[in-house]
Every structure is written in structure tokens, then in C-alpha cells.
A and B are shown apart, each in its own frame.
Chain A
Amino acid sequence: MAVIVDDVTFGYHQRPVLQNVSFEIDQGRLAILLGRNGSGKSTLIKIIAGLLSAVSGTIRVMGRELKVLRSAERAKTIGYLPQFHQPVFQYSVEDVVLTGRVAYIWNAPGHSDRQIAQRALQTVGIEHLRDRPYTELSGGERQLVMFARVLAQEPDIILLDEPVSHLDLANQIQLLTMLKRMTQAGCTVLAALHDPNIASRFGDQFIFLKNSRIASPPNREFPWDSDFLSSIYSVQLETIRSNGKPLIFPVLENTQLPPGPKGPPSIDLTPS
């Protein structure tokens, strides 16, 4: 097992964000985390990445307990791609990617580090951006640069928080295909995604979060049952099976959005 999450609980000011969350991910698998905004996906990923520490429960990565890993060792094991990054200085793309090497070196990156950064840029397909100022890129391009930084870190496990949220459809599919290829090379990936259609095409394993808890689908082989998904996303969804893959779409007639975990207002979509 590459990742073992055992009975993890977390909360801000007594408001529970995660309650008794447990799951395991095999090495070389692409696991996808699904759930509504505020269901605890980002928090869970940050806890596994070591950015937050759980109130209780244990996490093991590549056979070692996360808590005992020193931060440099952790960075060599786990790479984390944040949801947004707000840059301040106009570093070149290459300089941003090179910062991924900081767990390996103290002073300055050498020739081999530059080669690793170059390879990361090639893998992500943004070699042409190498000398461009990072601040002048689009949100999606920046996301790809930060992903190249994660690759330059050479981790065994990659955690991604909504990695495709700023990408167009072609780039989404390209990034997920790349992740898939990396799992075939032995890397373990956990990604939070919004779209179950995209998720079902790429994932090996699916973890659902609802109201800060793990929700288990009635059919583990085909977790896309429309009633189950409707309860996860709090909207009426319909699933059609085509070639063993689901086709999921919302049913908009006579739908009232029930209040979610953060209590958004109900919107009446019935035509008047």
C-alpha cells in the first residue's frame, strides 16, 4: 500500500471537516477524490501532503508513518499541487520549476537539476514556456508550471487538488492522460476532481466524501449509480451506461437544490 489513511479526523474550531476517514491506495494507482465544495477534499489532501496535521488518526506513506518523516524526506516521497498559486515576482518558468529541487540541494541547482527541470517541462509539454515570466501566463499555464515543479521534485506519490479546474478540455485530458501514464511507471496519484464523467474515464479507484465523511457506493464495481451520485452531489443526476463507462448528466426539470453542507440558497429551476 502506497497510502494508508486510518481513522483521520480534523476540524476547525469544533466544526468537523473530516470525521473518521479511512481508505487505502495501492502503489501505481490513480485514485480520484469526489465530493461537493466544502466536503473536505482539499483538507484531506493537505493532511496527506503534511501541510495540516490531523487531530487524530494515522497516515502511512510508502510504508512509513507521515508524522515521523522530516520535511525534506516527505517532499521526496509526496508531491503536492495546490489549487491556486498567487505569484508575486516575475520569475522565469524554469526558475519556478527549479524550486521543486530544494529538498535535494542546499545551495544552488546544478547541471543535473536543470536537466531534471527540463525533463519535467517536456513531460508536461510546456518546454516552449521555459524562459517566459511566470506572472504573465494564464491561470491554466501556471497550473501546468506548478505541476512540472511537482515532477521536478521526483516524488513517489502525487497529490493534486483540482488540477484541471483552470484547464480547457484538451489540456484536462492531456494532464489526466499524463497522470495515468505516470501511474503505469509506478507512481501513485490521488487527485480531487469535480466532474464524475472525466473522473470515471481515468480513475482506478474512487473515494467519495459527503459531509466530512467517506460515503461508500452500493456497488463498488460500478459506483456511478444515479441515486448514490445524486446524494453525493445534492442534485438530481441520471446515469447511462455505455460500453461499461457511465454517462452522467443532471436532470434539470422540477429540480430543487437541497441545502448543501454550507447551506447555499435553494434555487427553483422550474420554468415559471
Chain B
Amino acid sequence: MERHHSSKAWAISLCILPVLVVLVSIFIGPSAEASPRAVFVWLISMATPGSHSHTQGMVETILLDVRLPRILLALVVGAALTASGSSLQALMRNPLVSPDILGLSSGAAFGAALSMSLHWMPLQPAAFLFGLLATALSTLMAGGRRGFSMTSLILAGVITSGIFTALLTIVQIYSDPFKLQTIVHWTMGNLHNASWSKLRSAGLPVLAGAAALMFLRWRLNAISMGDDEMRAVGLNPTREKILVLIPATLIASAAVAVAGIIGMIGLVVPHMIRMLIGPDNRKVLPVSLAFGGAFLVLVDDFARAITSFEVPVGIFTTLISGPIFFYLLKKHDAGFREN
């Protein structure tokens, strides 16, 4: 296996990627005032004190209040969805699951919409609670005495996702027109109204959940061997699964709460990573955070640069992930075997 020899170099370079992507992304956007040249001038003036001029106020506002929060939010959301997808795939021994396929995203979206519309509960706790409920529902529906089968888990996810999407529609019907527009746009997976407050709202839960998953990442190797094989080496399967499910649900729900349902990232990006560096979760998890974040920032750059009007980034990710996934399935065995 040649590709496993170079996996360390790959892992390191993928972890450096987000820094470069963020730097490049600062220059991209539809605003005429903040052209790449103006951004460059502003960066130079920031580096040389005393040369701050009046015309740069506008550029500064665009950069600091519009672009930077959006880029950082894309980074956090992409990292969260990818890391959640990677851990869920290892945990369920099923490379075809992701936060959206399990119904987790729909559950979190329902909770968040409920909070936006009725103000029962703060946004993040509501998203987490219903995300957890959805995950529990689909795993309990699919789980038998001998663990989950691949197909039953996906079917249970489809049903769970359907239930929460239907409930979300009900919330939309009962929302007033002004709130309805916000909710509909947000559901489609959107980063265009990113703000520092959204970044703060998602940042803390994502940071906490990612730290927990990073700590557990080697255990994921043992967990992904199967229930009997876990017991044989002294792990309690139920306990270990809950230990991973909670942070994996937390970070994906937090991402959904601020950015809506950005589909396919949690499914496709973990596959790309396993293809490049192999399935060892000690590497897959940090690379998921770094590369997943960078990936969404890049996709969002396209969304910002290609069109003058805003196409929700969730629609972009789904459009480009389809062909990528098709390619992965045909070209490689994508790091797993079906049987």
C-alpha cells in the first residue's frame, strides 16, 4: 500500500491547508470597494502603523464585519460537519452515514426553527436536544441485538429525516411571513448572514465537541471493529457509542443551528480523507477538522465569487458532492468494503 506510506506527509499538509485558504479567501467577494488590490493595501497599512487613511474605513468594515466572520463561520461549520461525519461512520461501522443521512441534521434544524419561531428555548440547546433525539430515534430504530446493519440504519435515517422535515414544515406554516423567510433561507444551508455573534454561538459547542472527539479518536479504531470485538478487548459497546455520539451530535447540531442544512459534506469529505491518508482515526479526525473546514470555505468562495446574487452554499455543496461521490465510488473502494 503505497498511499499509506505517504499518509503522514498528506495529513500534515492537509492540516496546513485551512490557513492558506483563509488567507486567500479574504481577497474574494463581490464588493467593488474591497477589491483584491484594496484588501492588499489595507493589509500593508495594518502592518505599518500610522498610515491609516480615511478611505480604508469602508474596506476595513467589509473585511472585519462581513468577510472574516463568514470565512471563519464556514471554517467552523465545515470542520464540525466533517468531523461529525467521520466519527459517525467509524462508530456505526458504516461508511454511508453522515449527520444528514442519520436524520441528525433535520432534527437539529427542527429544534433550531422551533427556537427561532417560538422562542421556547435558546437556539443552541434546542438544536442539540432535537439533534440528539433524532440520532437516538434512528439508531434505536435500526439497532438489533447484534448491532446495526448498514441498510436498516440508512432506512431508519430516511424515516427520521422525513419525520423532522415534516415537523419543520409545520413550524414554517405557523410562522409569520417575516420569520418564515428567514427560516426557509436558513434551512437551505446559508452562510450569507454570518456574523461574529453566530460564530460565537457555534464556536463554543464545536470547540468542546471537537476536543472530546480528538481525545477519543484512537478509541474509534477499536470501536469500529464491531461489538463483540469491542467487548473482547474490554470496551462496553453501549457506553463507548454514547461517549462518541454525544460530541458528534453536539458539533453537527451547532453547525446546523447557525448555518442550516449544508448537505453531503459530512458524507463525502470523510471519504476523500480516508482515500488520501487511510482510515486510521488518529489522523482522520484532525484532518477532518482542518480539511473539512477548508473545503467549505473554498466552496463558499465559489458561491460568493461566481454569482452576484446569493446561491445558498448548501445547494452548492450538494451539487458538487454528487459527482465527487460518484467518482469515489467508481474509482476506488473508498476505504471500505460493502460485505
Q: Which residues of A contact B (CB under 8 A)?
A: 49-51, 71-76, 79-82, 85-92, 95-96, 98-100, 102-103, 106-109, 131-133, 135, 146, 149-150, 153
Are A76 and B224 touching (Cβ within 8 A)? no
Are B337 and A133 touching (Cβ within 8 A)? no
Give chain B interface residues in 302-333, CB to chain A under 8 Å.
Answer: 333
What residues of chain B lie closer than 8 Å to A82, measured between beta carbons? 228-229, 232
What residues of chain B lie closer than 8 Å to A102, measured between beta carbons? 219, 222, 233-235
Nearest to A96 among chain B residues (CB) is: B225
Q: How far is the CB of B65 from chain A (nearest CB, A)?
A: 40
- Are A49 and B232 also in contact (CB < 8 A) when A88-B94, A96-B225 are? yes
Given the complex of chains A and B, what is the CA–CA distance between A132 and B225 in angstroms?
17
Are A90 and B279 touching (Cβ within 8 A)? yes
Q: Which residues of B contact A (CB under 8 A)?
A: 1, 4-5, 90, 93-95, 215, 217-219, 221-222, 224-226, 228-229, 231-236, 274, 278-280, 282, 333, 335-337, 339
Are B235 and A108 touching (Cβ within 8 A)? no
What residues of chain A lie closer than 8 Å to B280, measured between beta carbons? 91-92, 95
- Are A74 and B234 also in contact (CB < 8 A) when A131-B1, A132-B1 are? yes
Partner of A51, one of B217, B232, B333: B232
A/B interface sample: 21 pairs, CB < 8 A: A49-B232, A71-B234, A71-B235, A82-B228, A82-B232, A85-B226, A86-B339, A87-B225, A88-B224, A89-B90, A90-B274, A90-B335, A90-B336, A91-B279, A92-B4, A92-B280, A98-B221, A102-B219, A102-B222, A103-B233, A135-B337
What residues of chain A lie closer than 8 Å to B217, measured between beta carbons? 108
Nearest to B94 among chain A residues (CB) is: A88
Q: How far is the CB of A61 from chain B (nearest CB, A)?
A: 13
B232, B282, B333, B335 — which one has the most chain A CB atoms within 10 A of its CB? Answer: B232
Nearest to B237 among chain A residues (CB) is: A71
Nearest to A80 among chain B residues (CB) is: B232
Are A71 and B231 touching (Cβ within 8 A)? yes
Given the complex of chains A and B, what is the CA–CA distance between A85 and B226 in angstroms?
8
Partner of B336, one of A79, A81, A88, A131: A88
Are A72 and B234 touching (Cβ within 8 A)? yes
Are A108 and B337 touching (Cβ within 8 A)? no
